[in-house]
Amino acid sequence: MNSAGLLEPITTTSALSCENVRVSFHDHEVLCDITLKLRQGEWLSIIGPNGAGKSTLLRSIVGLTKYLGTVTLGDGRVPRAADVALVPQFPVLPKGMTVAEYVLLGRTAHLGWLARESQVDRKIVSSVLNRLELAGFAERFVSTLSGGETQQVVIARALAQQCPVLLLDEPTSALDVGHQVSVLELMDDLRRTEGLSVLAAMHDLSAAGRFADRLILIDHGQIVAQGNPVDVLKPDLLSDVYGTPLTVQSIHGELMVLPATRQRAQTLKETS
């Protein structure tokens, strides 16, 4: 549990840094001077409304979007495929490939030129499928999967990549409530037991507050707030950024962000 700041990250050593990252599309600035540091073993969540630049930031980090500024690992290197894995919000899976074959693609970043997957690679894939309760899907073609199943398989591929930094772009958007919790808890367990560092773009503010050590709130491509969840999940701030009245309640020690009641919304409108 970390929504109340009860647990500190595993270490203060940097896993990934972004310095003055800027992205523009057709003269429209999508990201403006984004500077952040992800620590080893930390869960850092990026929150903000649609179009704020969350996905663009993650795509920039893995080199899928051109940017100005610098993105480096803790040792100063530019991230490579073996260093950072991305779970995209809208994955595209190749037809004619089984789940096991697709997840095995996660091992490609660790193979040499023209090298083939080893028995060790296949054992890693088998272990990941078991942990995500996907072993029964191994021989199914990815084209037959539902939206939620597809998302789980994409997460499995990222975990099979065994990178020290994992980027999640709305990783549970297509999952039911039960699988949302199990997947997020798995990520949380991995970063605590194996030092995995997680940078996640999340729409679910309550889940972001529950799992993240720190939050960064982005609006119109700029960081408007950052810090512990209890310091960022403020009703007035969130209501202003999201353009709708929101309340924040503590339920059993966890922060819950909820739409304001009609009466509360009217009160906020009258006092603004």
What pLDDT digit, counting tens, does each position of 211-252 carry? 999 999 999 999 999 999 999 999 999 999 999 999 999 998
Domain extent at residue 263: 234-272
Residue 74 lies in a domain: yes
pLDDT at 30: 95
Is the domain of 246 the same as that of 264? Answer: yes
pLDDT at 261: 74
Is the domain of 39 the same as that of 71? Answer: yes
Residue 101 lies in a domain: no
Alpha helices in 44-176 (DSSP H): 54-61, 99-104, 119-131, 147-160
CA pair distance 119, 140, nearest whole angstrom: 21
Residue 239 lies in a domain: yes
How many domains are contained in the chain?
A: 2
Is the domain of 263 the same as that of 152? Answer: no
For residue 158, what is the domain's CATH number? 3.40.50.300
Is the domain of 158 the same as that of 250? Answer: no
Is the domain of 74 the same as that of 188? Answer: yes
pLDDT at 3: 42
pLDDT at 68: 96
pLDDT at 113: 64
pLDDT, averaged in runs of 10, over the chain (272 residues): 45 90 92 96 96 95 95 94 89 90 90 76 93 92 89 90 92 80 85 89 94 97 96 96 95 91 59 56
177-194 helix and 147-160 helix, angle to the nearest 10 degrees: 10
